[in-house]
A and B are shown apart, each in its own frame.
Chain A
């Protein structure tokens, strides 16, 4: 049976991380299932575990200047209840899991899981989320899109952990989130889509689209988005098929037990059309 540690604060936790290659567990809602053993047996972790449950120093959400700082150990429910949480993130959290999961699961956990179908990731990519990553010796900042390097692959050293998620407080005219799955809460998405835009007198000032579960990581393409900045909304609406064509090379879903690639591709294009239609 593997060793387990429950550090009392961040400093103790970071110090401990220097000793070995640990599985870091916050809420545990994914980690326990991925390491499931048998009823009445200890959880089947393959390496020693550090539990973050007592790390109160990472349970916060606060605004500093025009940025929102989210501690790595705060529950999804507390983020949902906070007045400063951006609407797009609230829309995602309420659909991504049941209350029981939301009460314990964390954003940092969803990020480190690095699943192509991670629901919070489309919102965080859309917001250009920045991560604070710490070891006992060092602190660094990395963009989420650079942190996730592939399917379940992340840029994290053995002695490091995510300590904070930083998102700019952006003023969108509106935003849009769609999760496609057999059951909203709890089911893993067949695909997910988040969109946001800012208009000034029918001119597009900002437009962002992010797609989940259609490639190895979340798809967001700033080059395509840039083509529509300072353009009339009507130009976009009248040429929505052009937008769909621009995204087509990046939408490369797979067949799996949840869905097939043809369905995912078609629905993905429909979601682009619906998003534009609602602008």
Chain B
């Protein structure tokens, strides 16, 4: 069936089955490989994207749930000023090591700051509760988000 949605600020149309994971559609049909498959079970957050500007796991989002919705992946988000601030904060505070979880972490950061521009440490931890990082131990990521909220004040 014909499926229409907005992807990274462009209207797109696909003729495919709605019985596909958004993750596969993004990677295979659009080449958006910033969206990673980690666990494939909604536990690690490496596949996170924004659906109507809220974080979702694309591995457990059927394409059917994207009809007439807006999807933003890390590729689309990377063209914004907000991304620049978050990226610089992660780099400055050492919130990145191997980088596999980073696109998902940045999506989680944006989903949080968009709703809550001045989060507490506890609110940041809850916002990251669906994203696993096996390198940094989270403290540096939490500090990076505090820094991003401070430096980017007014952007959210």
- Chain A positions within 8 Å of B, measured between CB atoms, are 1-2, 4, 6, 25, 27-29, 32-33, 36, 39-43, 45, 49, 51, 53-54, 77, 94, 97-101, 103-104, 184-186
B65 and A99 contact, CB distance less than 8 A: no
Say yes or no: is B93 at the interface (Cβ < 8 Å to chain A).
no
Contact of A99 among B1, B21, B62, B127 (CB under 8 A): B127
Residues of A within 8 A of B65 (CB): 27-28, 51, 53, 104
| Docked pose: A42 CA to B24 CA in angstroms | 9
Say yes or no: is B28 at the interface (Cβ < 8 Å to chain A).
yes
A43 and B130 contact, CB distance less than 8 A: no
| Docked pose: A185 CA to B132 CA in angstroms | 11
Say yes or no: is B72 at the interface (Cβ < 8 Å to chain A).
no
Given A32-B60, A45-B19, A99-B111, residue A185 in contact with residue B129 (CB < 8 A): yes
Least Cβ–Cβ distance between A93 and chain B, in angstroms: 12
Within 8 A of A (CB), among B52-100: 54-57, 59-62, 64-68
Segment of B7-15, B43-51, B133-141, B145-153 in the binding face: B43-51
Chain B residue with the shortest CB-CB distance to A27: B65
A99 and B129 contact, CB distance less than 8 A: yes
A39 and B40 contact, CB distance less than 8 A: yes
Contact of B62 among A25, A40, A97, A101 (CB under 8 A): A25
Residues of B within 8 A of A45 (CB): 19
| Docked pose: A186 CA to B64 CA in angstroms | 23
Within 8 A of A (CB), among B17-41: 17-21, 24, 27-28, 37, 40-41
| Docked pose: A131 CA to B1 CA in angstroms | 33
A103 and B64 contact, CB distance less than 8 A: no
Can you report 7 residue pairs joining A to B where beta carbons are below 8 Å apart? A28-B60, A43-B19, A43-B20, A43-B62, A54-B68, A99-B55, A186-B43
Contact of B64 among A1, A25, A77 (CB under 8 A): A25
Residues of B within 8 A of A104 (CB): 51, 56, 60-61, 65
Residues of A within 8 A of B43 (CB): 186
Contact of A103 among B17, B21, B24, B55 (CB under 8 A): B55
Residues of A within 8 A of B111 (CB): 99
Residues of B within 8 A of A184 (CB): 129
Chain A residue with the shortest CB-CB distance to B45: A100
Within 8 A of A (CB), among B114-129: 126-127, 129
A185 and B62 contact, CB distance less than 8 A: no
